[in-house]
Structure 1
Amino acid sequence: MPGKALLIIQMDKARNDRVASWLGRHGYDLDYRFAAKGEPLPDPATADHDLAVVYGGPQSANDTVEKPYLQDEIDFIRGWCDRERPLLGLCLGAQLLGKAYGGQVGPHPDGLNEIGYADIAPTAVGRALIPGPMRVFHWHTEGVETPPGGERLAEGQVFPNQAFRLGDHAYGLQFHPETTVEIFSTWIEEAGHMLTWPGAQPKDAIFTDAKRHDPDLARWLDGFMQGFVGPRG
């Protein structure tokens, strides 16, 4: 039976994203923890949650000295995943997952960013998860290596590692399948200057791509979530 989901939020408030909505519709109790606001994370050894989701945010996974809560998240992720408990990392969450297991996080060597829609393609081992090429939404300025012992599941042209798995319980997605058009419209309002950065997609092109590709991305996420929680739900 569905149980309790831990949602680690990097922002000051939660948004009605697709992952949280999916979990709520399928009977999970949602326990939001606002890490950047100083809310403590549970002890991985004793937490009664059935799964954890680590969300994205504007922080760098390398800012652990200036933002010590990021190190707390890395420590939590390591403790949680060492116990083979299900975890999904989204964008920054994927970078924190990778960093927890020795993957390097950093900017593109040519100063490029991924903001807007871009193509990804499955690796040979990733085809069960991502059957074919997809055009997906991004908003990030750094990427993460596939950590030692992990399996890369999808690749992109700018940041090579777009999805990876550790064991059969932890997944990192560099892109944003959880983000609705309503949510990223707010991002554009709040940080539209980033659309002028190298590699960013123009605003009009983002919304044109959204009309064509957002429904497919939503359907893909639904299938992913069924597989992610299905054997445990």
Structure 2
Amino acid sequence: MFQTDWMESRQPRRPKILTVLHQEHSSPGRVGHLLVEAGFALDIRRPPLGDPLPQTLEDHAGAVIFGGPMSANDPEDFVRDETNWLAVPLAEDKPFLGICLGAQMLANHLGGKVAPHPDGFVEIGWYPLAPTEVGKALMDWPSMVYHFHREGFELPETATLLATGETYPNQAFRYGNNAWGVQFHAELTRAMMQRWVVRGSERFALCGAQHGRDHLEGRMIHDAVLKAWLHQFLGKIFGAPVPA
């Protein structure tokens, strides 16, 4: 036992990524898998369940805020506190990624409005994505991405649009060098998608939503490209970890 403990104590600590989730059984999914494979450790916090967010990211290599069923406009304290907390990674210029709700929080923080589509359309299923010229120069993008949302965000004046869509034009953006937001979900494993399809089936009747079978069939067609993109995208945001 002493030898094992001694050997473990000599191993370098893995740099941490603050990982913010919004439900008790939510998972960082493929994003978490890829970050751990790249050499990071995940510091998982769930603010709706009372977990605090750190006052500084000096002990973290970056942060990810994931999605959730709530709105970025909800009056709950944790929504307001998370949105205000984004001042921390922005002030410290630490890599930050917001996914769906996390992107909407970032847009709100930067002065962009979050709201439903004026004609009531949602994006629930697979929808086309088109990179902007800036996005094309950055990397190759998938032509179809997976969505599960009823609101979108305005592009903040100080942000750069990277990818656009037909129904919700603002799909991916960057603010400065280190803050990124995407409206779509590349993090879902197959098991996660199956749970979403079962638990969110009442939303398939919403305007513009796709039936559950289309979600799973679309995954067989489009997911390999989406996964490859995510691997590259996370590398651009977080780079290769440097052990502390």
Aligned to 2:64: 53
User: 1:4–1:50: 8 Å Cα contact kept in structure 2?
Assistant: yes
Aligned to 1:123: 132
Match of 2:48 among 28, 33, 36: 36
* Larger helix percent: 2
* Partner amino acid, structure 2, of 1:26: A
Q: Distance in 2 between matches of 1:139 and 1:91?
A: 8
The 1:35–1:116 alpha-carbon spacing in structure 2 relative to 1, beyond 3 Å, is same
Q: Which moved more, 1:73-82 or 1:191-200?
A: 73-82
Residue 129 of structure 1: how far off its partner (Å)? 3.6
Q: Distance in 1 between matches of 2:164 and 2:175?
A: 16
Aligned to 2:21: 9
Tell me the alpha carbon deviations over residues 122-162 of structure 1, each in whole angstroms, 9 at most, x when there is no partner. Answer: 01111134435510000000001111210000000111100
Residue 232 of structure 1: how far off its partner (Å)? 5.9
User: 2:127–2:144: 8 Å Cα contact kept in structure 1?
Assistant: yes
Q: Does 1:196 find its partner at 2:205?
A: yes
User: 1:78–1:101: 8 Å Cα contact kept in structure 2?
Assistant: no
Q: Distance in 2 between matches of 1:133 and 1:185?
A: 21
Q: Does 1:70 find its partner at 2:79?
A: yes
User: 1:129–1:224: 8 Å Cα contact kept in structure 2?
Assistant: no
The 1:192–1:30 alpha-carbon spacing in structure 2 relative to 1, beyond 3 Å, is same
Q: Distance in 2 between matches of 1:22 and 1:194?
A: 30
Note the residue ranges of structure 1 that are not aligned, 5 or more in a row: none
TM-score (norm 2): 0.90
TM-score (norm 1): 0.94
Q: Distance in 2 between matches of 1:221 and 1:29?
A: 18
Please list, as runs of the form range in 1=range in 2, the aligned pairs for 1:59-208 lying within 5 A after superposition. 59-63=70-74, 65=75, 67-132=76-141, 134-208=143-217
Q: Percent identity?
A: 39
Q: Which moved more, 1:208-217 or 1:75-84?
A: 75-84
Note the residue ranges of structure 2 that are not aligned, 5 or more in a row: 1-11
* Partner amino acid, structure 1, of 2:182: L
Residue 13 of structure 1: how far off its partner (Å)? 2.4
* Partner amino acid, structure 1, of 2:65: V
3-state secondary structure, aligned to 1:70? helix
Q: Distance in 1 between matches of 2:71 and 2:111?
A: 16
Q: Distance in 2 between matches of 1:194 and 1:68?
A: 26
Residue 18 of structure 1: how far off its partner (Å)? 0.8
The 1:41–1:133 alpha-carbon spacing in structure 2 relative to 1, beyond 3 Å, is closer
Tell me the alpha carbon deviations over residues 177-226 of structure 1, each in whole angstroms, 9 at most, x when there is no partner. Answer: 11122202101111211011111012222222110101110011011111
Q: Distance in 1 between matches of 2:93 and 2:240?
A: 14
3-state secondary structure, aligned to 2:201? helix
User: 2:117–2:151: 8 Å Cα contact kept in structure 1?
Assistant: yes
CA RMSD of superposed structures (Å): 1.6
* Partner amino acid, structure 1, of 2:233: F
Tell me the alpha carbon deviations over residues 78-123 of structure 1, each in whole angstroms, 9 at most, x when there is no partner. Answer: 2221221110000000000111110100000000000000001001
* Partner amino acid, structure 2, of 1:165: R
Q: Distance in 2 between matches of 1:223 and 1:132?
A: 10
